[in-house]
Structure 1
Amino acid sequence: MPKVAKQLSDRAVAAIKTEGRHAVGGVAGLHLRISAGYRGWILRVTVGDQRKDMGLGAYPAVSLQQARDKARRIHDDLRNGQVPISPKVQQRTLIASKAATEKSFRWCTEEYLKTKSSEWKNAKHRQQWENTLDAYAMPHLGLVSVSAIDLPHILACLEPIWNTKNETASRLRGRIESVLDWATVRKYRSGENPARWKGHLDKVLAAPGKIQKVEHHRAIPVDNMPSFMQGLRTRAGIAARALEFLIHTAARSGEVRGALWSEIDFDKAIWTIPAARMKAGAEHRVPLTEAALKLLVEMPRIESSNLIFPGTKGQQLSDMTMTAVMRRMKATAVPHGFRSTFRDWAGEKTNFPRELAEHALAHTLESKVEAAYRRGDALEKRRQMMQEWSNFISAPSHTP
């Protein structure tokens, strides 16, 4: 072990100006090294059969007493059979360790989206996530480490819009909760999720059902459908035919706009919509009525596109094209509202079971028991119902 030099005082150490190593005493092997203007602490120790120098920090940022304390701890480690690590290496290791585990909410969101967005049906879903979080969460959480996020951070995001934009706020809460759950599984945070609703936020925020005004899609009254259809049939253009097909099939706008010729079985009069294009993620078969089949037979085909209702450049119609047709007809409704009109017709003017109408609309059954027992898709029963619907809306209008 190196000899212990004469123990210098703080004043004596401060007075050292010449370059080189200067033993300061108090702890064996402790030196002040001066080189090219740099003044720092060096501890020379023997590890095994090798000598090594360990940096203890710059002087005077690390005082004489602090240097001696660090040196003594290293000697203690050696006596206990531990390989000493220099404070500088320890600091670098600590920083690297923190960098590996301390992740910001923004970083976690980006990684979560990379992981999960492949499960979503289209890029629009991811864009909705990003837009909501960017607008309402990132200003409060973006740079905050996920390990530090707690109730006050969540409320800062939610409270300003909870009463005025409750649907958006509710989705925002769920998305923040998902990102934080992901961060917990990845060991970037621990403890309860501060964005959870049940037993937590439900104690400090009003229930959505109490404050949210449900705005139903504007729909044309059932009894006005024959006159509306009569006017629609006089309209030229692919968008008008797409809207007419949508009404006969009670389908969603996206399902119709994305409909392909390859999905139509003319012999069996069935339109099979693949699971990837269905909201519930399950294949849906639509029985085609006589009017729906006639419409398809009369539709022109474009060799370069498999779409039944292509846009001007062969691409899928935009989600506003059918709405534009209705606006030109002065109709105070939206395309999705025809599904509500169909449901009202089935409930008010027919004896068809509720479940049959719900199946025609491709709604997911709320009752898990009912869903488990319904093995088939009641295609032929639905065919009869859809034909009666088609007959009803195609009847001559008696409006003067």
Structure 2
Amino acid sequence: MVQIAKLTARKVETAKKPGEYGDGDGLYLVVGEGGSKSWILRTMVHRKRRKFGLGSVSHIGLAEARDLAREYRRIAREGGNPDDLRRKETLTFWEAAQRVHESLKPTWRNEKHTETWLATVEKYAKPMLGDRVLDTISTSDVLAVLSPIWTQKHETAKRLRQRLSTIFDWAKGAGHYPYENPVNGLKKALPSYKPRKKNLAALPWQELPDFMAELRKRKAVSARTLEFIILTATRSWETRGAEWGEFSEENLFGRNRKSTTVPLWTVPPERMKRGVEHRVPMSTAALAVREEMRGLDPVFVFPSPSRDKNGDTRPQSGEVFKRLYERIGVSGITTHGFRSTFKDWASEYAHAQWEVSEAALSHAVGDETERAYGRSDFLLRRYHLMEAWADYALGRESRDVVKLAGW
């Protein structure tokens, strides 16, 4: 049954009965059997009766539908074809996600991030949104994707939200999504959630020499990688991605102006959590571990025995340490936790200055103003600290580490 009276916003909102409701000049509201609502326009094009779908009511209101119908009719009167307005590429959500992923891949050096970025979208968003045309997706659809995991897997949900926002930002900029980014409307729709911070399990510093002695018995590359991580107090990925070209030497001067040659490892910003280059003074023990890796690969210091899909050498996976812990027979600790082990030792045993141990961990010290004026990274003092740390860790302590408090 076709209605003749002009529509109102209220009528559009409350119409439930399936059918077509006319607004005049060929514009109709169509209510489907399942309650869906959309707009169509019937008009003459090149002396032939044509019907054009104008979109869903959830995206196009009454006023916008009238404006769009008026534009279509104008084009038809002037001898054109309204289809010319509609001949833009129609993308599904999954097609858009793949394009965004391909465009971002060259900017990522972390292979794991490259893989997981799209895998997360595929696992959680594709089942609901994958085949949907982009401009049919609204905030409520995105909410339906995120709500089930927002509290159960909060970190994953936050990363997914960011990736969905990136996809729709791209789609809007490329002309495939004409509305505001649907992720923007989620702030009040999702419950506030403050997860408890968990400290990663760390080995007590008093037990480290025994652990290192057991680790030295292992001949695998993963054992040397873990040893290097511990001796340099770095993060797992910083060491696993280490390249031979990142190492150098620098002459530094102490209080007595006496020159000291310090071996350096400079970790580039793209592999650092804060995105800031980190200079690591190398202890004699750390240098020895590095030299054990000579000849394995011309690029990576700690290469994986497996190759990537192109047949090239790649860094080891972080999963190798879990298997290493099982072989050694320890449990309840994490690789990242060794940074806490170092920090506790530096504070409780070596009595190192807080700023020096924080710099060794590449932590930001002070506020922005303090960092702007305090530009030193305490490199020479960290060099002596890392030598003392290595001596302690390997059970061959010969220096009076308490003197470090005065450095």
TM-score, normalised by the number of residues in structure 2: 0.67
Which one of 301, 305, 321 corresponds to residue 298 of structure 2? 305
Q: 2:272 aligned with 1:278, yes or no?
A: yes
Larger radius of gyration: 1
Separation in 2 of the partners of 1:222 and 1:319? 22
- Distance in 2 between residues matched to 1:294 and 1:304, nearest whole Å: 17
Q: What are the residue-to-residue correspondences of 1:92-241 with 2, within 5 Å? A: 92-96=83-87, 99-100=88-89, 103-190=91-178, 192-196=180-184, 200-209=185-194, 212-241=195-224
Letter in 1 for 2:373: Y
The whole-number CA distance in structure 1 between the counterparts of 2:166 and 2:357 is 34
Distance in 1, matches of 2:159 and 2:296, equals 42
Contact 2:228 2:289 in 1 (8 A): yes
DSSP-derived class of the 1:376 partner: coil
- Given that residues 230 and 396 in structure 1 are in contact (C-alpha distance below 8 angstroms), is that contact kept between their aligned partners in structure 2? no
Tell me which residue corresponds to 1:379. 379
The residue aligned with 2:286 is 292
Kindly tell me the number of residue pairs found equivalent between the two proteins: 316
* Corresponding position of 1:13: none
Alpha carbons of 1:245 and 1:124: their partners in 2 closer, same or farther (altered >3 Å)?
closer
Partner in structure 2 of residue 27 of structure 1: none
CA, structure 1 residues 83+319, in 2 after alignment: closer, same or farther (shift >3 Å)?
closer
For residues 115 and 290 of structure 2, the distance between their equivalents in structure 1, rounded to whole angstroms, comes to 34
Residue 342 (structure 1) shift: 1.5
Please tell me the residue identity of whatever aligns with 1:325. Answer: L
SS at match of 2:266: strand
Give the secondary structure class of the aligned counterpart of 1:381.
Answer: helix
Which structure is higher in strand share?
Answer: 2
Local SS of the residue matching 2:112: helix
Provide structure 2 residue ranges, at least 5 long, that are not aligned to the other structure.
Answer: 1-43, 52-72, 250-260, 307-312, 398-407
CA 1:117–1:368: 2 relative to 1, 3 Å: farther
CA shift in 2, pair 1:373/1:151, >3 Å? same
Contact kept? 2:135, 2:178, Cα under 8 Å: yes
| Structure 1 residue 389, shift from structure 2 partner | 1.8
Q: Distance in 2 between matches of 1:304 and 1:158?
A: 43
Cα deviation 1:288-309 (Å, max 9, x = unaligned): 1122223334x15327634333
Q: Deviations over 1:99-119 (max 9, x none)?
A: 34x543333323332333322
Q: 2:232·2:280 contact (CA, 8 Å) conserved in 1?
A: yes
Contact kept, 8 Å, 2:143 with 2:189, in 1: the verdict is no
**Corresponding residue number in structure 2 for 1:392:** 392
Equivalent residue for 2:335?
A: 335
Question: What is the distance in 2 between the residues matched to 1:206 and 1:304?
Answer: 49
Question: Where does the alignment leave 5 or more consecutive residues of structure 1 unmatched?
Answer: 1-42, 44-53, 62-75
134-143 or 348-357, which deviates more: 348-357
Map 1:52-91 → 2, pairs under 5 A: 55-57=46-48, 85-86=78-79, 90-91=81-82
- Partner Cα distance (1:303, 1:152) in 2: 53
Map Cα deviations across residues 63-116 of structure 1 (whole Å, 9 max, x no partner): xxxxxxxxxxxxx99xxxx99544xx52432331xx34x543333323332333
What CA distance in whole angstroms lies between the structure 1 residues aligned with 2:183 and 2:93? 13
- Measured after TM superposition, the shift of residue 379 of structure 1 is 1.1
What secondary structure sits across from 2:84 in the alignment? Answer: helix
Offset of 1:169 from its aligned partner? 1.0
C-alpha displacement at 1:336, in angstroms? 2.1
Q: Distance in 2 between matches of 1:292 and 1:127?
A: 31
Report the secondary structure of 1:362's partner residue.
coil
Q: C-alpha displacement at 1:269, in angstroms?
A: 1.6
Shift of 1:381: 1.9
2:383 is paired with a residue whose SS is: helix
